[in-house]
Amino acid sequence: MRVVAALSGGVDSAVAAARAVDAGHEVTGVHLALSRQRAQHRAGSRGCCTIEDAGDARRAADVLGIPFYVWDLSERFHDDVVEDFLDEYAAGRTPNPCLRCNERIKFAAVLERALALGFDAVATGHYARLVGGDGGDGGEVELHRAVDAAKDQSYVLGVLDQHQLRHSLFPLGDTTKPQVRAEAERRGLRVARKPDSHDICFIPDGDTAGWLRERLGDRAPDVPGPILDDATGEQVGAHDGTLGLTIGQRRGLRLGRPAPDGRPRYVLDIEPVSGTVRVGPREALAVDGLVAGRAIWAGAAPDDGAVLDGDDLVVQLRAHGAAHRARATVDGPLLRVDLLEPASGVAPGQAVVVYRGSRVVGSATIESTVRGSAGASS
């Protein structure tokens, strides 16, 4: 096959490209320029897509002996990922930009361009496994969790549909991160010991609240407001703006009045328009159900009214969060999920990814949550 290897400048994408070459594919390395104002250097493990990263990607391609190009997708990344991130926060939701990048950039814009240029697939350094779809039998390509549970990235790939999965390669799905670094050393790749990137790539200093305040301006209310005890309604503190707070947060609340039992309080609810924040004990964060929209199915879409259940059905609510046993019902454009094991710190805007065993069934964007024990919703 003719394969585009997306080279980020990190060790994972470099080894993934090397394995695609070893598999006999005709591989071309492509680095994505996603920032309109790229920095010269990364700040340790923060950020990505710098000029330094582009140089690392080019050197990896040279070692592998494959052609190398830079594709400038900065405008589309800004419109489809950065602006979406701002719009979601302005609406009081908590988005995951990595899912949106995979959905609209890496496996939409990049794949579209690759197919238009005559390539057959895009290979990335994501930790996930593809099963089936060989031999032209028309069977579905299944997306599964990676062998390395600590590095598994199937959650952020849950936005991919069957067409995209058929044109994707994830060569690292059966490998652990230490094995990848050791392999990079053996291959003479200079990125073997390069730190992984963390946090949001377009906020390299990690100050999400400050970044949002600077760019949103009047688009979203961020006025100081009271912090109320959810049980009593008493004011126990004040905050400088809701953009700096998230559901489930405990640190940095500066509460002037401790809880009667001395236990820490957590953010339970944020009202961005009024600026009111409610806090309470950890158990009050427990969510028993949720309603999600924008469902994307990794295989054939279930019929309206279909119930997804069984001992092997679980949902995941964060990129590296726990799996929760659940029952899901398809209700027109919505997915209604009953959690058989309550989850904490769930907020609208996050993604719910449905698994059957290790296989990804599909994903949806959380619109509201239900706290059955408290009878509350958000």
Cβ atoms within 10 Å of 157's Cβ, excluding its own: 28
What is the per-residue pLDDT for 152? 97
CATH code of residue 225 = 2.30.30
Q: What is the pLDDT of residues 169-192, one digit of tens each?
A: 999 999 999 999 999 999 999 999
Residue 220 confidence class, pLDDT cut points 50, 70, 90: low
What is the per-residue pLDDT for 243? 81
Last residue of a domain, one of 149, 174, 193: 193
Residue 309 confidence class, pLDDT cut points 50, 70, 90: very high
Residue 52 confidence class, pLDDT cut points 50, 70, 90: confident
Q: What is the pLDDT of residues 139-150, one digit of tens each?
A: 899 999 999 999
What is the per-residue pLDDT for 200? 82
Q: Please indicate, yes or no, if residue 371 is contained in any of the structural domains.
A: yes
Range from 58-72, 217-231, 319-333, 343-357 carrying the lowest mean pLDDT: 217-231
| pTM for this prediction | 0.88
Tell me what the pLDDT averaged over the chain comes to.
Answer: 89
CB 195 within 8 A of CB 44: yes
Last residue of a domain, one of 283, 300, 326: 283
**96 burial class (0-12, 13-18, 19+ CB within 10 angstroms)?**
buried
What is the per-residue pLDDT for 224? 84
What is the per-residue pLDDT for 44? 47
Same domain, 160 and 258: no
Share of the chain above pLDDT 70, in %: 92
Alpha-carbon distance of 375 to 254, in angstroms, equals: 28
Alpha-carbon distance of 96 to 77, in angstroms, equals: 14
CATH code of residue 98 = 3.40.50.620
Q: Is 272 left (phi over 0), alpha (psi -120 to 50) or beta?
A: alpha
Which is the catalytic residue, given 48, 49, 98, 101? 101
Residue 166 confidence class, pLDDT cut points 50, 70, 90: very high
Q: Rounded to the nearest 10 degrees, how much is the dihedral formed by the CA atoms of 176, 180, 183, 184?
A: -170
Q: Which residue range(s) make up the domain with 296?
A: 286-377
CA 308 to each of CA 121, 290, 355: distance values in angstroms, whole numbers, following the listed order: 31, 14, 10
Residue that wins the pLDDT comparison between 123 and 86: 123
Give residues with Cβ within 8 angstroms of 279, minimum separation 6: 227, 228, 229, 230, 236, 237, 253, 255, 265, 266, 267, 268
Query: Radius of gyration over alpha carbons of the chain, in Å?
Result: 22
Q: Please indicate, yes or no, if residue 206 is contained in any of the structural domains.
A: no
Bridge partners (DSSP) listed for residue 351: 365
Q: What is the pLDDT of residues 186-199, one digit of tens each?
A: 999 999 999 887 66
Residue 49's closest CA among 214, 208, 171, 204?
A: 204
Residue 48 confidence class, pLDDT cut points 50, 70, 90: low
Same domain, 357 and 243: no
Same domain, 52 and 173: yes
101: tokens are 């990048």
Which is the catalytic residue, given 48, 49, 98, 201? 201
| 48 classed as catalytic | no
Last residue of a domain, one of 260, 283, 306: 283
Alpha-carbon distance of 344 to 228, in angstroms, equals: 19
Q: Please indicate, yes or no, if residue 213 is contained in any of the structural domains.
A: no
Please tell me the total count of domains within the chain.
Answer: 3
pLDDT at 159 over 60: yes
| 201 classed as catalytic | yes
Strands 334-343 and 351-356: unpaired
Alpha-carbon distance of 259 to 262, in angstroms, equals: 5
